[in-house]
Chains A and B, each alone.
Chain A
Amino acid sequence: MAGKPKLHYYDGRGRMESIRWLLAAAGVEFEEIFLQSPEDLDKLRNDGSLMFQQVPMVEIDGMKLVQTRAILNYIASKHNLYGKDIKERALIDMYVEGMADWNEMFIMLFVHPREEQDAQLALLKQKTTDRYLPAFEKVLKSHGQDYLVGNRLSRADIQLVELIYNLEEFDPSLTANFPLLKALKTRISNLPTVKKFLQPGSQRKPPEDMKSMEKTLKIFRM
């Protein structure tokens, strides 16, 4: 590896946060180059650095990777966090795709017009308690193991715990009736690399709000 991976994004969670979590959990140090203005984004686009003219973009191993999923797949594979064979990988993919749908609701929350946000938050909470939390609690219950797939840590566990943290920022009571998920959260949080990432001063980004989102949307000329 030439140097540390370089993450190109704005200084906020958005779609890059899952990548930060995964790199951190894998113990990989990384650098960040923050977009602060529309011109910064223009420059990346004009450089030909962004295949689909979008960020996130991660410079890693001599490549400029785009598409969040492709980036996460690559990092997980490289660091043995993607199951032991293609069957385990398929299960992990199934779970993380469900999580991506769920995460999309968080990411888009403050992008909705102000008057729609209460309704969107209510929908997020409802889907969380009716669909997503039960689905993953059930997976853990079905095999009684410590991790979602293959009795071994994978990106699915890390991404799930990321989402649990995000959702507890909105409403800590939502996970009350999901003991196995709470146990997973504790287990993952105690991994030395994750523990470090959860500490103040790490590269983990704070929750987004209306104000930070307004700033961000300006960068994307939205």
Chain B
Amino acid sequence: MAAKPKLYYFRGRGRKEFVLWLLAAAGVEFEDEFFETREQYEKLQKDGHLHFGQVHLVKIDGMVLMQTRAILGYLAAKCDLSGKDLKERVGINMYTDGNLDLMMMMIAVAPFEPPNKKEESFVLVVKKAKTHYLPIFEKILKDHREDFLIGNKFSWADVQLLEAILMGEELDASVLSDFPLLKVFKHISNIPTIKKFLQPGSPKKPPRDSHYLNFEESNLTIKYP
């Protein structure tokens, strides 16, 4: 890579977090650019970069990429984290798509519910994780008894699963209580690049906080699909 990728988003967690995780796990250094004002957002718009009116954007390898999945797919392929052939890639895509659905609920839906609905929303997401998603990944690990989800090799799917588990644990520390193999899987946190990312002072963002929400509400109307 000629220059470091540049990530643009608000200060705070959001879809960019998925990209941060992947870059970090792949050991790729990057620059984090934050929007603090409306003017910065409007400049990007004026420069013609915001095809679809959204603000999650990465400048990399001479391209301006938008759309979380497009960005993740490119990075995974570039960093050799998307399987060795098409069949492995489709397996990885199935896992990451399913997982992203779950994490979008945690990151892009529940935090934006009105205060009286928020708690209930988070409870529901955790329930969905425990009944709908985590059992699937537990079974995958059980069926092949390998350390990684696909092809016995570290991939994008593993990065995302770890991310989802840690996010789930923030909401409910006991989320893995019924999943012994996922508990073992968590040890991939010890991979040096990931270990570094999980340390304080890394670019990893804390769970949504009020600073983020106030900025967004007062300055912009961002519609999440």
Contact = CB atoms under 8 A, between A and B. Distances in A.
B132 to A, nearest CB: 7
B98 interface: yes
- Which of the listed residues B48, B52, B65, B98 has the most CB atoms from chain A within 10 Å of its own CB? B52
A93 B70 contact: yes
B74 interface: yes
Interface in A105-133: 131-132
Contact of A67 (B77, B97, B132): B97
Interface stretch (B86-94, B104-112, B179-187, B212-220): B86-94
B132 A53 contact: yes
B98 A67 contact: yes
B13 interface: no
A167 B52 CA distance: 18
B115 interface: no
A94 B90 contact: no
A63 B67 contact: no
A29 interface: no
Nearest to B76: A86
A153 interface: no
B53 interface: yes
B51 interface: yes
Contact of A94 (B67, B77, B136): B67
**B interface secondary structure, majority:** helix
- Which of the listed residues B51, B74, B86 has the most CB atoms from chain A within 10 Å of its own CB? B51
B169 interface: no
Contacts of A132: 52
B67 A93 contact: yes
A61 B91 CA distance: 13
B27 interface: no
B136 A74 contact: no
Interface stretch (A16-24, A35-43, A96-104, A178-186): A96-104
B86 A78 contact: yes
Interface string B91-103: 0011001100100
A69 interface: yes
A109 B225 CA distance: 14
Contacts of A77: 86, 89
Given A104-B225, A131-B52, A94 B70 contact: yes
Contacts of B74: 86-87, 89-90, 93
B67 A86 contact: no
A91 B63 contact: yes
Nearest to B97: A67
Nearest to A130: B53
Contact of A101 (B94, B98, B225): B225
A65 B90 contact: yes
Nearest to A93: B70
A66 B91 CA distance: 10
B173 to A, nearest CB: 25
B67 A98 contact: yes
Given A52-B132, A93-B70, A131-B53, 9 more contacts: A51-B94, A53-B132, A73-B90, A90-B63, A94-B65, A101-B225, A135-B51, A138-B48, A138-B51
Interface of A: 51-53, 61, 63, 65-67, 69-70, 73-74, 77-78, 86-87, 89-91, 93-94, 97-98, 101, 104, 131-132, 135, 138-139
8 contacts: A52-B98, A74-B93, A90-B71, A90-B74, A94-B66, A97-B69, A97-B70, A139-B51
Interface of B: 48, 51-53, 61, 63, 65-71, 73-74, 77-78, 86-87, 89-90, 93-94, 97-98, 101, 132-133, 136, 225
